Structure 1
C-alpha cells in the first residue's frame, strides 16, 4: 500500500537534533532539497496499489533521495544506509523531521527503489528541474512557456470544435546533441572465455538435473576435467596463434554441444522446474550463445546479429565507437542533449544506432519542453544528413557544420568564425560526458539488470543537473555577500 506522505518542506531550524544545535542553511544537502517532491510523488504513487492491506511503502522522497545520494557520493547499498544513519543532513534531505539513530530502511530495498522508480520517472523529474531552473535564470517567471503558443479552432467531424495548437514560430536557445557508450561492468569478452563459462554453467545444470536420480541412474560423462585442461592450455598461452585459438574454440563448442545433448536426455526423467530461476535463465542464454558461436565458427566470421557478450548480462551488446583508447565498448548507447548547461536524456538503446536519426525527435521534444524551436543545433557531422538538413531548413533552424559535398576553395571569414564558435560551444556536451564518467559512474555501470542500469544512467544526469543548480546558488549567494562588502566599504569611505 502507498499512502500520501508529508510533502511540506520543513525549515532546517525545525529539524530536531537530540544533541542540540541546528542545521546550517548553507549546507549542500539543505540547498538541494528544492526538488518538486509533490509532483514526483504523484508519478511514483501510480506504481502502487491503494489497497489498505499490507505494509506501508517508503515515501518517494526517501526512495529517490537515497538514490541521488548514492550516485552523488558513489556509495554501495550497505555503506549508503550507514552514512544516512550517521549524518543528520542526509536525513533532512530525505524528508525526516528529526534525527534518528536507527537505519531508515534496509539496504536490500535500494534494488526495489530502482525498479519502482524506473528511467521514465527519473527523466521526468530531471525535466521538471531543468524547466524550473531555466525559468529562474530567465527572470523567475512561473508561467510555463509551453502553454503560451496561440491556438486555432477547426471543425470537428463529430460536431463541436476541435482546438489544436499552432506550431511555434519563435526560435530561442541552442540545442547541443551527442551520444556515447556507457560501458557495463563485465569482463572483456572472447569467444573462448564465453564458451568456457557456458560449459561450466551447463555442468552445474547437469548436476542439478541428475541429483534426484543419484544411485539409481548413471550420471552422464561430461569430461569436465579434460575440457578445463583444454581451455587452460590456450588461455594461459601468452601469444596463441589464430590456428590455436580456432582449435580451442572448436573443442569448447563440441563440449557445449555434448552437455546440451545430456540435458535433453535428463529432461525426460527430471523436469526443468527443479532448476532455479537463475539456472533456467542461463540455460536459455547458453542455448542462444551456442547457436551464435557455431554460426560464426562455421562461417569463419566474427560478426553476428544481437551478439551475446556476457551470460550474466545478455542485454549488453558491442558498440563500435572508433575511439583510439577502445575501438569497441560494451554497454548501452546513450544520446543526450545539453541546453544552457543542463543535460537531458534523448534515447537509451542496448543496440547500436546512428545518433543522426535522433535529431528530429530531439527537436520536437525540445518544443514540448520549452514551447519554441531552437535557434541553432550544434552537433557532429554524423547529424548532417540530407533529411536533417531539409528538416532544419524548413523550420529555419541553423545546423552547425560544413555543407555537404566538396569543400569550397575559398571560405567566408564569417563562416569560419561561426564554425569555430560552434565547435567551442559544442564542447559542452563532451564536458558533460567526461563529468558523468569521471565523477558519477557513467564510465562503468555496475547495475546488473537492464531496467536498473537505465535507471542509474538517468540518475547520473539528474545528479549533474542538481550539482549545476547548486553551483549557481553558491555564486548567487557569493555575489550577494560580495556586494554587501562593497557597500560596507563604500559607506566607510
Structure 2
C-alpha cells in the first residue's frame, strides 16, 4: 500500500517535541530542513500499489539511505544507529523519539529494488546538488596515505622470475634455440616461494630462490654463447 508520511501538528502533552530537544545548529538538522522531501514522495509513489499492507514512509527509507551513505554504514548498522540517535530520527521525519528499530535491515534492500537504479541515482543526485558549486570541483585532492596499494614488492624470487621471462623473450626475438627453458621447474619454484615465511618450509623456499638465480645464470650464458656464434 502507498506509504503516508506522518504529519503530527498537535503537540504531545506528555512528551516534548523531538526538535525542541536537539541542537538546532547540528549539520543533520540543517540538512533535514533543506532537502525537498516531498519530491521523493511524489517521485516514488508510482512504485506502490493501493492494496496490501501499509509501507514504511518514503522519507524514512530515503533518509536511512542518505545516512548510510553519509556515515559509511551498513544496512544493519544504520538501522541500529537510528534507534540510538535522535538526530537520525529527526532527519528521517520523526517528531517524537521512538525507542525501537525503524524497520528491518532487509527492507532497505527491498526499497532499493523497488525504486531501481534510477530511483537510487535521483536520491544521491539531490544530495550532490545540495552542495552547489562545491560538488562540481574540477580538481579533487585525495589523501591515499593509508589506502591499500595494488602493487607487488620486488623480492629476489620475483625479480629472478621476471629476468627469466625477459631472457625467454630475447631468445624468441633472436630465434635462439635454448638448451633448456626450465618452464616446469620455474612453476614449481614459484609455488615454493609462496611459503617463504612458513617455519617448516623456509628451507625449501630458500633453495628454490637459489635455484632460480642459477637458472638465470645458465640462460644468460646460453644466450650470450649463441649471440657470439652468430
TM value normalised by structure 1: 0.25
Give the corresponding residue for 1:342: 135
What are the equivalent positions in structure 2 for 1:186-335 lying under 5 Å apart?
none
| Bigger Cα Rg | 2
Task: Name the structure where strand makes up a greater proportion of residues.
Answer: 1
> Over residues 258-287 of structure 1, what are the superposed CA-to-partner deviations in whole Å (9 max), with x where a residue is unaligned?
xxxxxxxxxxxxxxxxxxxxxxxxxxxxxx
Taking a change above 3 Å as real, the CA distance of residues 101 and 7 of structure 1, as seen in their structure-2 partners, is closer
Match of 1:121 among 119, 122, 127: 119
Give the corresponding residue for 1:166: none
Q: Is the 8 A contact 2:79 2:103 kept in 1?
A: yes
Give the corresponding residue for 1:23: 22
SS across alignment from 1:427: coil
**Any unmatched runs of 5+ in structure 1?**
135-339, 344-424, 432-493
Match of 1:63 among 51, 61, 64: 61
Q: Is the 8 A contact 2:2 2:50 kept in 1?
A: yes
Taking a change above 3 Å as real, the CA distance of residues 86 and 125 of structure 1, as seen in their structure-2 partners, is closer
Taking a change above 3 Å as real, the CA distance of residues 130 and 102 of structure 1, as seen in their structure-2 partners, is closer
Structure 2 CA distance for aligned equivalents of residues 90 and 29 of structure 1? 8
Shift of 1:7: 6.6
Q: How large is the Cα RMSD of the aligned pairs?
A: 3.3
Q: Is the 8 A contact 1:7 1:37 kept in 2?
A: no
Q: Is the 8 A contact 1:16 1:97 kept in 2?
A: no
Taking a change above 3 Å as real, the CA distance of residues 430 and 46 of structure 1, as seen in their structure-2 partners, is farther
TM value normalised by structure 2: 0.51
Report runs of 4+ in structure 1 exceeding 3 Å deviation: 6-10, 15-18, 125-134, 428-431
Task: Name the structure where helix makes up a greater proportion of residues.
Answer: 2
Structure 2 CA distance for aligned equivalents of residues 36 and 8 of structure 1? 18
Structure 2 CA distance for aligned equivalents of residues 3 and 72 of structure 1? 25
Structure 2 CA distance for aligned equivalents of residues 58 and 73 of structure 1? 22
Shift of 1:84: 0.7
> Over residues 91-147 of structure 1, what are the superposed CA-to-partner deviations in whole Å (9 max), with x where a residue is unaligned?
00010110011111112212112212333123334445566765xxxxxxxxxxxxx
What are the equivalent positions in structure 2 for 1:136-175 lying under 5 Å apart?
none
Match of 1:110 among 103, 108, 111: 108
Structure 1 CA distance for aligned equivalents of residues 37 and 50 of structure 2? 20
Residues paired across the two proteins, number: 138
Structure 2 CA distance for aligned equivalents of residues 129 and 110 of structure 1? 18
More RCO (CA 8 Å, sep 6+): 1
> Over residues 60-98 of structure 1, what are the superposed CA-to-partner deviations in whole Å (9 max), with x where a residue is unaligned?
111111111112222222222221111111100010110
Structure 1 CA distance for aligned equivalents of residues 59 and 94 of structure 2? 10
Structure 1 CA distance for aligned equivalents of residues 115 and 17 of structure 2? 31
